[in-house]
Chain A
Amino acid sequence: MSHTRRCGWVDWVYALPTAAAGLIARMRARSDPALALTPGLLLLSGQPAFALRYGLTSGALGVKVQLAQDYAVARNLAPADRWGAALGIFMPASVGLVQ
């Protein structure tokens, strides 16, 4: 564990960036291969949206367990709002893990 000015406490065992980077990539692509829907099929407040699945995973003995939520994300978000939405998706899963 280290304490940083920008990020607070960092637990290096859990500090792999892959999960957050994967979420950002899907937000950037505005699609989730796990929930491939026909573009234009999903609307959020009348606006085009895409579906995204995110949550917690554990796997052993040939079986994976996923605790996941499905999200509808507006496709026309400004970049700053898109990152805000990504953080809003990542935080509950991350906090849910350590509570």
Chain B
Amino acid sequence: MPKDYGIGASSKRREDVRFLTGSGRYTDDINVPGQAFVSFVRSEVAHGKLNSVETEEASAMPGVLRVFTGADFEGVGGLPCGWQITDRNGEPMKEPAHPILAQGKVRHVGDPIAAVVAESEAQARDAAEAVAVDVQELPAVLDMKSALEDEGLVHEDAGTNLCFDWGFVEDNKDAVDAALAGAHHVTTLELTNNRLVANAMEPRVAIGDYDAATDVSTLFTTSQNPHVIRLLMGAFVLSIPEHKLRVVAPDVGGGFGSKIYHYAEEAFCTFAARQLLCPVKWTATRSESFVTDAHGRDHVSKIELGLDEDGNFLAIRTATLANMGAYLSTFAPAVPTYLHGTLMAGNYKTPNIYVNVKAVFTNTVPVDAYRGAGRPEATFQLERVIDKAARELGIDPVELRRKNFIDKEQFPYATPVALQYDTGDYAATMDKLAEISDFEGFESRLEESKRNGKLRGLGVNCYIEACGIAPSNLVGQLGARAGLYESATVRVNATGSVTILTGTHSHGQGHETTFPQVLADMFGIGEDQINLVHGDTANTPMGMGTYGSRSIAVGGAALVRAAEKIIAKAKKIAAHLMEASADDIEFADGQFTVAGTDKSVAWGDVCLTAYVPHNYPLEELEPGLEETSFYDPANFTFPAGAYACEVEVEPETGKVDVVAFSAADDFGNVINPMIVDGQVHGGIAQGIGQALREHAVYDDGGQLVSGSYMEYAMPRADDIPDLAVDHSCQTPCTHNPLGVKGCGEAGAIGSPPTVVNAVVDALQRGGYDVDHIDMPLSPFRVWSAING
């Protein structure tokens, strides 16, 4: 019988009541009295020298309050990068300035040049058209290989387009080279991980407000991590101390990573509000979102896998070019490095691994973390090359994987790329996958497809991810310029209800439902007695926000720690009320009892006593019942799983249909199975989107060709088959109190190689000599591959 409340229950998402009835409160729903509107003048060319920006005519237009240009930001900090990579020679990465408004040069289509603030949105836009920009166009630096020849520079100050050349682990390099040289067989694959646009349903919005009487600035913004924005913008850009700066991120309509970063528009609105003494609001158009939200992926890689005569993996060597775009976005350097190279062991006991990554500046939108962030890029290379090796050696792809799995007895397992996996059972998830996807019935389904003139393929794939990046002292050594703990305050109210205040946020994950589930179990009270407050630096403890599938693994752990403090204090109060020793108090199902007696007091009585301390040990114990914890994990968590997909391919047109998809995930313990199902569904849909449809394409001049939904192919409901999702294989995390691992990105990591493996399988079964197609596997690309 499934639980109907608390941990393990599929409690309905309480936030959906407002999301599904149109009563959510998103940033654009906020209108501050007296607000003005900003319209940005953006570069229409990919690369150019900015000769002049003429604002006189625009400034004189109706309703215009002021026109800002880069000159207004001299002496103001640029957008900071939150992670510094040290390259193979021990040198820091190239870290060029990222001005709020362009100074001297424009470096990508969409780069902001000027900003017009006016009384109405239409007036701002009218006047923005009257700003005359004189740009001397320069050849666009686009292709990464050519960019490394440094014939044209995105940043002259850097002297090169190479941001960094990173080796991981550098000490492994010689052993890897030797192992590959001596291997019985080496499979090599060159592949591209296609550039994506995040396409959150809610576009970005920023509203800057300034109260001159108190000297407090407030930024309302579409952010996954308001405390991070406050820290970065306050300390590095605008020099506003934190007690004078409040950042509010209300309901957020999807982010997928793109709303982690500190963007120029946030700093601009906050700055302009102080200058003009009126609130300043910006709402991105969808067209602006395409050319200003950080893009994802965009790696070009070569991977080599060495095997012995029995199919044992001996060594892996990869070389990747990672596109940084025109500037370093907040966490961009971490993505192709510590979120990518560290994952190259996958689920396998390969003894020797070396990863080389060259990060490259180009005249394109900055690239940063997108759902999975580095881990999908690692998984895609690894799982594609394993599939290719299986075909080359005539070994069943599933068996080749099983043969090389880290055995469950080997945990904790130290990989050659610096991670220590705490738990896992990869054979169990593969067994579960075989069951739910009915491997045995494939041949008959294949025959049926053939009768309909279709090719059919089965793709299988494993993945591992590392969630909840930590601990802070380690990531600090690796270049992180922030801590990666999380916080929670548990505020027990006088009548026994509870308010959770946390530094994590939710942009669709359902935290308002799941966090109370945890406390309902711990306190033995109803979920409806508990609510969650997040998204406002004014009333939540400093926390690092939501990304990297970290919220329940790190934030949930902080919540448990704070709740444990509450219980410890409540036991003292209960002990006082029952005239017993606190050590003898037991707490279960909302009742405090003295062990071995029938004495008890209820949760509500203890809470009331804490706030009405008439009968209370005031000399020993403070009144009140509110505790905060900051939790810094000892290690990452390592969700893992096995995915299978069946496709039908129409050989005469190249059209691919995903006809079945199964996912067997190990997320450790699960708080709300329904929400976890939904997270996996969404991740798989995005992964199928990447595999078959989505692609941010630049033309030779640096224009984003797929800059609208007419050209950028989003997956739609009818592209996604019924998904068989199972997370019953559970090896709980050993180092956090809930035993949870995180589930937000798994689907997007595991599914792209599954789909590509299936399409290649279908083509090979159909007699076509195709061993790889770069994503997206559009009908045109598949047809082209079939036809040589």
Say whether A associates with B: no
A interface, CB within 8 angstroms of B:
none
